[in-house]
Chain A
Amino acid sequence: MADFDVPELNEYPIIPKLKEGVMAHSAPFIAAEKFQTPLGFPGQLPENWKEVAIDKMGELLGKYRSLQVFLDICVHCGACTDKCHYYLGTSDAKNMPVARQELLRKVYRRYFTFAGKYFPRLVGAVDLTEEVLDDWYSYFHQCSQCRRCSVFCPYGIDTAEISMAAREILDAVGKGQKYCNEIIGKVFVIGNNLGLPEPALRDTLEGLEEEVEEDTGVKVRFPLDEKGADILLITPSADFFAEPHVDGLIGYAKVFHEAGVSWTMSSKASEAANFGMFIGSYENMRRVSLRIREAALELGVKRIIFGECGHAWRVAYSFLNTLAGPFDFLDPNYPVPQHICEFTLDLIKQNKLRLNKEENDHMKLTFHDSCNVARGAGMGNVEGGQFTIPREVIKAACNYFYDMPQDTIHDATFCCGGGGGLLTDDLMELRVKGSQPRMEALKRVTEDHGVTNLAAICAICKSQFAKVLPYYGFTMDQIVSVHQLVSNAIVLKGSEQEAELDGTTD
């Protein structure tokens, strides 16, 4: 199945012995000029690339004081070494977070510190060479910016920020990554990562309306570009396109229908994802975010709700107001923005949704905390809501729920292995190996509790799991959307399911 060795799943996690350079060959496709230019990046390595790179580093150090602090304060204590899923799955020494960061730090010291300028060898400072640049390209695309190592760092160094800075420098010298940059370009031109134009989106949504009506007998709407709706739903375009994502989208629509609220999606902002964050580009992140503001203003909505998308929620929850605010035109009685899980749980608590848990009795569930939700955001108005709210939604819709081992959930969750702009086929070896710790934890609950399915609230996690589960002896359909479970269980008023339950069928 694979032209590389798939890591074993052990009874208990085993920290692998270090191996030098075993993943040095791993690097994603480089973005061609046509994908670089629309983002404001050069198409190829400029002649004075070294100067450009150092200048860029200097600019970032001035702009983000945190970056300078993170580059200065690491004491190489080693607390992070065995916390990275890519290290655990590949055993490559440079995938220890401290070693990966050192690739940037050693150049930083050479050009920006007194000791490094005058006594480089004494402090392990090195010149920036093409070899170093290639190393950056390879290993900073072996970090999914999941920030698990940061949780264990006694200094709180945000490794993701270092990876983002490295990628931004690479973009500045024409070494962008094809996957991310092609996608950002599509968002600007068409409105979403997929390049799904408005007529195709409309056709797809009409198909879903028919499907739900066939299944339930109820006409549940999937509105698009409807001016004057109260709620604007921003969701990843994978929700329109792929499985199991689309079953989550059907779940949101059923919840909105049952709540009796008016809502709409937007063809202009038909994407929650914001890959600008993955490449560390504030400008691109801002441009992507502004579409949401424009759509909200044009449609005249009062609230914004985000669908199941991990890093979109981080951008939305943590940065949206500074990127695209102020949102003073929205109804101040509701959180800006709100997560769909929050919205659904509120309704459940008010007894406004009728859920028949037995519809999910063929599954035993566990929940995968997506890194950007778990470590990059909150949810609702309770501490740790990002952990409890999705679980409460699942438990309200399912009879069987079991958590994976404690050191692999909540803020210690393991990345799916495909986050941070690495969900591309040219990195399949890395993705499979990086998912080893999550797969091992899944196997644990499979054996201990008979868990059959893994639920998630992130489009990347869902696609990644669908792809990597079979490598570990699972099946691709074991990954489900959280709102897919809600969709299965929900008993719509006037539906065939309601009639059956209440014994009023003919």
Chain B
Amino acid sequence: MSIEVNGKSLEVDEEGYLADLNQWEPEVATIMAREDGTELTDAHWEVINFLREYYEEYQIAPAVRVLTKAIGKKLGKDKGNSKYLYELFPYGPAKQACKYAGLPKPTGCV
């Protein structure tokens, strides 16, 4: 399976996650979101960019509390909670936002 981004064909797994993290570019997120019927806003990008930064340092997506804390610090306490994140990413911040950010899907009992 693959998706078309800027004339290139990028491989994705069965669930639509990018096979190679290094092939990610912002257009990937835009196209994946559009397939889900969502237009990405600055609010989405705040989360996606944080996920990518965190992944670069720790090789894993941030835990929900790490994410809500970071978003709360950046955008204000009223947004530092999972309710806000679910409004942005209704399929779950860990899974949907990770997918747009080109990160592997978090596995396990989550």
Where the two chains meet, the residues of A that have a C-beta atom closer than 8 Å to any C-beta of B are 29, 178-179, 182-183, 186, 192-197, 199-200, 203-204, 207-208, 211, 236-238, 240-243, 245-246, 271, 273, 309, 423, 425-426, 459-460, 462-463, 476
Contact with A along B82-96 (1 / 0, CB 8 A): 100010000000110
Q: Is the CB of A186 within 8 A of B58?
A: no
Q: Which residue of B lies closest to A272 (CB)?
A: B109
In-complex Cβ contact of A195 among B14, B15, B64, B107 (8 A) = B107
CB interface residues, B 52-110, toward A, < 8 Å = 57-60, 62-66, 69, 82, 86, 94-95, 104, 106-110
Inter-chain contacts of B15 with A (CB < 8 A): 29, 425-426
CB of A193 within 8 A of CB of B95, answer no
Q: Give the chain A neighbours of B95 by CB distance below 8 A.
A: 425
Given contacts A196-B60, A426-B14, contact A463 B109 (CB under 8 A): yes
Chief secondary structure at chain A's binding surface:
helix
Q: For A195, A200, A246, A459, which residue has the most chain B Cβ atoms within 10 angstroms?
A: A200
Q: A183-B107, A183-B108 are in contact. Are A29 and B64 (CB under 8 A)?
A: no
Contact among B57, B86, B108 for A238, CB-based, below 8 A: B108
Which residues of B sit under 8 angstroms from A195, Cβ to Cβ?
A: 59-60, 104, 106-107
Closest 7 CB pairs of A and B: A193-B108, A459-B109, A200-B58, A238-B109, A242-B110, A241-B63, A194-B108
B44 CB, nearest partner CB in chain A, Å = 20
22 A–B pairs (Cβ distance < 8 Å), ordered by A: A182-B107, A183-B108, A186-B108, A193-B109, A194-B108, A195-B60, A195-B104, A195-B107, A196-B63, A197-B60, A203-B66, A207-B63, A236-B108, A238-B108, A238-B109, A241-B63, A241-B110, A242-B109, A243-B65, A246-B64, A426-B14, A462-B109
Give the nearest-CB partner of A195 in chain B.
Answer: B60
Q: Is the pair A236, B65 in contact by a Cβ cutoff of 8 Å?
A: no
How far is B95's CA from A41's CA once the two chains are assembled, in angstroms?
Answer: 28
Complex: A476 Cα to B104 Cα, angstroms? 24
**A273 and B63 in contact, given A197-B58, A242-B94, A243-B82 (Cβ under 8 angstroms):** no
- The CA of A243 and the CA of B64, in the complex, are separated in Å by 7
The one of A186, A460, A476 that contacts B107, using a Cβ cutoff of 8 Å: A186
| Complex CA–CA separation, A240 to B94 (angstroms) | 13
Q: Please give the distance in Å from A203's CB to the nearest CB on chain B.
A: 7
> Given the complex, which residues of B lie within 8 Å of A236, measured CB to CB?
108-109
Contact of A193 among B59, B66, B94, B107 (CB under 8 A): B107
Query: Does B66 contact A207, Cβ atoms closer than 8 Å?
Result: yes
Prevailing SS type, chain B contact patch: loop
Tell me if B110 and A194 are in contact (CB < 8 A): yes
A35 to chain B, nearest CB (A): 11
Chain B residues, Cβ within 8 Å of A309: 109
Task: Find the residue from B65, B66, B104 having the highest chain A CB count within 10 A.
Answer: B65
A273 with B109: CB separation less than 8 A:
yes
Closest to B83 in A: A477
- Contact present for B110 and A199 (CB under 8 Å): no
Beta-carbon contact of B109 and A423 below 8 Å: yes
CA distance A244 to B13 in the complex (A): 28
Contacts of A241 in B (CB 8 A): 63-64, 94, 106, 108, 110
B66 CB, min distance to chain A CBs, angstroms = 5
Q: Tell me the nearest residue of chain B to A192, going by C-beta.
A: B108
Report the bound CA distance from A208 to B94 in whole Å: 18
Compute how far the CA of A208 lies from the CA of B60 in the bound complex, rounded to whole angstroms. 18
Interchain nearest-CB distance for A180 vs B (Å): 10
Say yes or no: A238-B110 contact (C-beta < 8 A), given A207-B69, A211-B65: yes
Query: Please, which residues of chain A bring their CB within 8 A of the CB of B62?
Result: 200, 204
Minimum distance in angstroms from B61 CB to a CB of chain A: 8
A203 to B66, CA, bound (A): 9
Q: Assuming the A-B contacts A240-B63, A242-B64, A246-B63, are A179 and B107 also in contact, with contact meaning beta carbons closer than 8 angstroms in the complex?
A: yes
Interchain nearest-CB distance for B83 vs A (Å): 8
Residues of chain A within 8 A (CB-CB) of B108 are 183, 186, 192-194, 236-238, 241, 271, 273
Q: How far is the CA of A246 from the CA of B66 in the complex (A)?
A: 11
The distance from the CB of B38 to the nearest CB of chain A, in whole angstroms, is 16
CA distance A241 to B86 in the complex (A): 16
The answer for the CA separation of A334 and B60 in the assembled complex, in Å, is 36
Q: How far is the CA of A183 from the CA of B107 in the complex (A)?
A: 7
Neighbouring B residues of A178 by C-beta, 8 Å: 14
Between A186, A194, A423, A462, the greatest number of chain B beta carbons within 10 A of the residue's beta carbon is seen for: A194
User: Which single residue of chain A is at the shortest CB-CB distance from B69?
Assistant: A207
Find the B residue at minimum CB distance from A208: B65
Residues B109 and A460 in contact, CB atoms below 8 Å apart: yes
B110 and A463 contacting across the interface, CB-CB below 8 Å: yes
